[in-house]
Structure 1
Amino acid sequence: MSSTPTSTAPAAPRAIMHVDMDAFYASVEIRRNPALRDTPLVVAGHGPRGVVLSATYDVRALGVHAGQATSRARRLAPHALFLAPDHDDYGRVSGGVMAVLRSITPRVEPLSLDEAFLDLAGVTRRLGPPVEVGELIRARVRDEQGITCSVGIADNKFTAKLAGALAKPDGLRVVRPEEVVDFLHPLPVDRLWGVGERTGTLLTDLGLTTIGDVAHTSVETLSRALGPAAGRGLYELAWGRDERPVIPWEPERSIGAEETFPTDVDDPVVIRRTLLDLAHRTATRLRRAKAAGRTVTIKIRFADFTTLTRARTLPEPTDVGHEIYGVACLLHGALGLERARLRLVGIRVEGLVGGARPRQLALGERVLGRRDVERAADAVRGRFGDSALTAATLLGHRSRSRPRSGP
């Protein structure tokens, strides 16, 4: 008895989505204070070493961008309102956004606080075509988090991210497989991943100014100019070929905080106060993440940018700022820095587990311990704001009310 060969349907193309919040830090500030909605706004670090984190789109049109020195941004947009960042608030909003994305699919790969890739395999059967899923996400982020996002959809990461960037702000763009070449090739060469200032100059010297120019240049020529890996990689991207999978989120491996001083510091009192501040900020973030850690690491950067780290592992995991500070002081003291001039100090807690575990009380130790006090302080700050409560030692050291400066 003869059998008829079984035909298999061609596999459906991948549906990869890139979701990116619009001017995230600035948008969170407007969410907190809606009166700022029509105000030119820049979120940036203050002091001579401050840099821009985000700006509203009207300010971006003047040349202000993330990573730019705050002093330069002030010259470009003297009329804008400059706000110091509130990283804890940004973290809370980011957590809400990521929860929305993971309610759509577990295949979510965060790239930062405000953007992520999603693999929609299996999702479209439940929620409809990719464009409907994208609109659903945009609506939920707007309704639940009070900010907007832009979405790009394609069959690979590179094209999806680029589509989303070109849909900004507050837009959605789909690039179907048969449209990829026509979409990519007219774009400038610096839209390719991995093309920064140096690589862009090399490509321009070869007469390659668009992605299409790169696509129609041999791999051999590109490899001679850029190296084998970079040459082959850009060639593949120029034809819209990107096989990298979406890698789902993994739990955070460490939590910490660091501070760059406005000017180099050699005063040990100032450094100890900064370590105390960083220890409590780190502990607060651990408790908010329902995590604790066994290893405390300090980071020291000297005036000449030399950087070193030192770490100590504890017998039990902790999320208590007082304990983290004690270890940080021991590590700092063991360095014997005396009057060394420091540019930056930081604290991180690693080896995270799901919350501090019960421990045996020492003889004579009160049941109400440091952790209980710090959790009570968390509750006060959660209700009245981060400036409502701080250690007396830190008064005057670092204002927890964020400085504001405008026109």
Structure 2
Amino acid sequence: METALRPRKIIHVDMDAFYASVEQRDNPQLRGLPIAVGHGEARGVVAAASYEARKFGVHSAMPSVTAKRKCPELIFVIPRFDAYRAVSQEIHAIFAEYTPLVEPLSLDEAYLDVTENLKGMEVATEIAEEIRGQIKARTGLTASAGVSYNKFLAKMASDQRKPDGLFVITPKNGPAFVEALPVKKFHGVGPATAERMHRLGIETGADLRTRNLAFLQQHFGKSGPYFYWIARGVDERQVNPDRVRKSIGAEDTFSTDIHDFETARAGLQPLIEKVWRYCEVNRIHAKTVTLKVKWEDFTQITRSKTVTAPIASAGELADVSTLLLLPLFPVAKGIRLLGVSLSSLDGTTVEDKPQLALAL
């Protein structure tokens, strides 16, 4: 295992409220105000929220009507994806000055392996601080960073001192950090998985560590080994700068099973918005839409449709998804989970990674 060898030096850099911060930087009148990047109409979804808006509970992927209810003074700003891409290119150019091993997760987030780096610097913390300083100097924006010996812990570390912070998790304190962490905060553990863990009596990393591999595989399938090892502070995934994505999708497990068509269609809408935002941000075109349905008894089906020309709008993606959904009704059993994905992707940008927290 990696901890028995020379520890790697991994940095996770995450821009602070990226879209919203770019808007506030470029328009001084928005500074200090609660803003949401997105469309404010009834069926709109928040793409990003400033920290001033987050104090009211506004967050990305929230329906615009809910966001406005939580923060009546909220200002909606139409997304400018070309501007975000341009800033992202500046940030990634900074990364490239330190290491060729950069794995972009989105326009505003990336892993860097600096075990061997172009500057010949020995201390990863100093590299992270220097990168954050360069980002501030060149773009006027702040970034948070996490430094550790693997990707999971670097990601967890970057969340500890947001915004504009740095946090380090060493090989010595990694396992103890994981033990104290609530499982609902683990990267890779969504709300539905966290709820399932809670039902099994797993509240923290320490609880997770007491479960053996067979138990975790029984209850969490192919994710079982991942949970087993991260509970011990071990993650041997490499920083992969050449990862190619063949599909992009989003899915959601509902708190109560769905039995009627209109509720199911409404449940699909936020997922469609997420997937389409990814396509807009990364200039991705796709022709194949796949609908995923998991029933209340945990069996699942998929239905796909390939159109003749690339999907051109969120509305078109919604139309195709609806065509796939409609023949399933009336249903014989409740729907536990819905998902929508796009494949046959065609894009030219380097940010060929999910822009949002999508379940793929």
**TM-score, normalization by structure 2:** 0.69
Find the partner of 1:230 among 215, 220, 223. Answer: 223
1:350 is the counterpart of 2:333: no
- Residue of structure 1 equivalent to 2:307: 310
Residues 352 and 218 (structure 1 numbering): CA distance in 2 closer, same or farther, change over 3 Å?
Answer: closer
Q: Which of 105, 109, 120 is residue 114 of structure 2 equivalent to?
A: 120
Q: Which residue of 2 aligns with 1:97?
A: 91
Which of the residues 37, 50, 55 maps onto 1:43?
37
1:123 to partner: Cα distance: 1.8
Distance 1:186 1:164 in 2: 16
Query: 1:183: how far off?
Result: 1.4
Q: Distance in 1 between matches of 2:69 and 2:347?
A: 44
Shift of 1:226: 2.1
**Residue 12 of structure 1: CA displacement?**
2.5
| Structure-1 residue corresponding to 2:174 | 180
- Residues 4-63 of structure 1, C-alpha deviation per residue, up to 9 Å, x if partnerless? xxxxxx843100110000000001001111232211111122322211111112321322
Structure 1 stretches of 4+ moved >3 Å: 249-254, 296-302, 306-312, 348-353
User: How much does 1:221 deviate?
Assistant: 2.5
Answer yes or no: is 1:81 the counterpart of 2:75.
yes
Following superposition of structure 1 onto structure 2, how do residues 1-400 of structure 1 map, counting pairs within 5 Å? 11-123=5-117, 126-227=120-221, 229-249=222-242, 308-311=305-308, 350=346
Cα deviation, residue 300, structure 1: 8.3
Q: Which amino acid aligns with 2:346?
A: E
CA distance, structure 1, for counterparts of residue 139 and residue 133 of structure 2: 10
Residues 186 and 211, structure 1, Cα contact 8 Å, conserved in 2: yes
Deviation at 1:301, TM superposition (A): 10
- Output the CA distance in 1 between the equivalents of 2:119 and 2:98: 12
Q: How many residues align?
A: 284
| Residues 1:196 and 1:300: Cα distance change in structure 2 (over 3 Å) | closer
- The TM-score, its normalising length taken from structure 1, stands at 0.61
Separation in 1 of the partners of 2:177 and 2:152?
12
Q: Aligned partner of 2:174: which letter? A: V
| Paired AA for residue 310 in structure 1 | V
Q: 2: CA distance between counterparts of 1:226 and 1:241?
A: 18
Pick the structure with greater CA Rg.
1
Runs (5+) with no aligned partner, structure 1: 1-9, 255-280, 287-292, 313-323, 341-345, 354-407
1:364-393 C-alpha deviation (Å, 9 max, x unpaired)? xxxxxxxxxxxxxxxxxxxxxxxxxxxxxx
Aligned to 1:141, the other structure's residue is in SS state helix
- Letter of the 2:120 partner, please give it: R
Structure 2 CA distance for aligned equivalents of residues 307 and 232 of structure 1: 30
The secondary structure found in structure 2 opposite 1:184 is helix
How many angstroms apart in 2 are the aligned matches of 1:25 and 1:209? 33
Structure 2 match to 1:289: none
CA change 1:138–1:297 in 2 (3 A) is: closer
Task: Label 1:92 to 1:125 Cα distance change in 2 as closer, same or farther (>3 A).
Answer: closer
Please give the secondary structure, in 2, of the residue aligned with 1:92.
helix
Displacement of 1:160 in angstroms is 0.2
**CA shift digits 1:65-117 (9 cap, x unpaired):** 11111111111111121112111111111111111111111110000110000
Paired residues of 1:124 and 1:130 also in contact (CA < 8 A): no
Task: Note closer, same or farther for the CA distance 1:192–1:297 as it changes in structure 2 (3 Å cut).
Answer: closer
